[in-house]
Amino acid sequence: MGAGASMSCSFDLEHYREILEAARAGGYRFARFGEGPEPGDLFLRHDIDLSLDAALAMAELEAELRVQATYLLMTESVFYNLASSEGVAAIGRLRELGHPVGLHAVYPNVVLDERFDPVVSWHNPKPEHMSDEIQGAVNVYGERYFSPATYRSDSNQHWRSGCPHEELRDGAFPWLQILVHPAIWVYPGATMGRTMRALVEAESARRLAQLADDDIDLT
Ligand SMILES: [Zn+2]
Ligand SMILES: [Zn+2]
């Protein structure tokens, strides 16, 4: 990585598209959990903690670029309700776009009903349990898929080892699992704090629209 190269790597959909294009230029293949890892496999994973809207915006962009990513959705989120009409519609659209959908689970609860492919990622995992085998499902933190040299994450709007676009373009990873949180890329903000405030503002508008839809008098 060139010095300063990561400085221009903004967390927005424009650069996200560049990262995906870099991966393609580097010869990577978008792979599903349950297969591989083979040389050149790229396991693109999205843990959906906060926003189904952000997940859908990212999913549409990926579909446009013919990129497949695995979306891991929560049934125990305080931020969204997967059983609501919005949640059902979101899963339907993700499936329609060709993306696998797995469970983003709160330890130790794994209930894989018919909505989910047998793929699990833990929400805020504790190191002592995170790699344990999960009966009947692929654990994305299992030894098969999870090791520091072949893993990158954008957690808290920060790439601990730098933005991976150059290494992807150069084919420098033998294979890679990459965790991208859509809300960080869809909502504007130069820091996690600012991005989260932008998300909260968007949520406020969304909530008012939902209240109006529910025949609540907002005058
Ligand atoms: Zn970059
Ligand atoms: Zn999470």
Evaluate whether 104 touches 73 at the Cβ level (below 8 Å). Answer: yes
Q: Which pLDDT band holds residue 2 (cuts at 50, 70, 90)?
A: very low
Q: Which ligand is nearest to the CA of 163?
A: 1
Evaluate whether 116 touches 75 at the Cβ level (below 8 Å). Answer: no
Q: Which ligand is nearest to the CA of 48?
A: 2
Positive or negative torsion for Cα 53, 56, 60, 61 = positive
Q: Which ligand is nearest to the CA of 12?
A: 1
Q: Which pLDDT band holds residue 6 (cuts at 50, 70, 90)?
A: very low
Neighbours of 83 (CB within 10 A): 10
- d(CA 104, CA 123) in angstroms, rounded, equals 6
- Give the residue among 193, 168, 189 at the shortest CA–CA distance from 178: 168
Q: Is the pLDDT of residue 5 over 70?
A: no
Check residue 131 and give its pLDDT.
96
Q: Which ligand is nearest to the CA of 23?
A: 1
What separation in Å is there between the alpha carbon of 96 and the centre of ligand 1? 29
- d(CA 159, CA 123) in angstroms, rounded, equals 18
Check residue 7 and give its pLDDT.
44
Average pLDDT across the chain, whole number: 95
What separation in Å is there between the alpha carbon of 216 and the centre of ligand 2? 32
> pTM for the complete prediction?
0.95
Using the 8-state DSSP alphabet, how is residue 124 labeled? S
Q: Is the pLDDT of residue 1 over 50?
A: no
Q: Is the pLDDT of residue 185 over 50?
A: yes
Evaluate whether 69 touches 46 at the Cβ level (below 8 Å). Answer: yes
- d(CA 156, CA 175) in angstroms, rounded, equals 23
What separation in Å is there between the alpha carbon of 179 and the centre of ligand 1? 14
Check residue 8 and give its pLDDT.
73
Model confidence pLDDT, tens digit, residues 34-50: 999 999 999 999 999 99
What separation in Å is there between the alpha carbon of 197 and the centre of ligand 1? 23
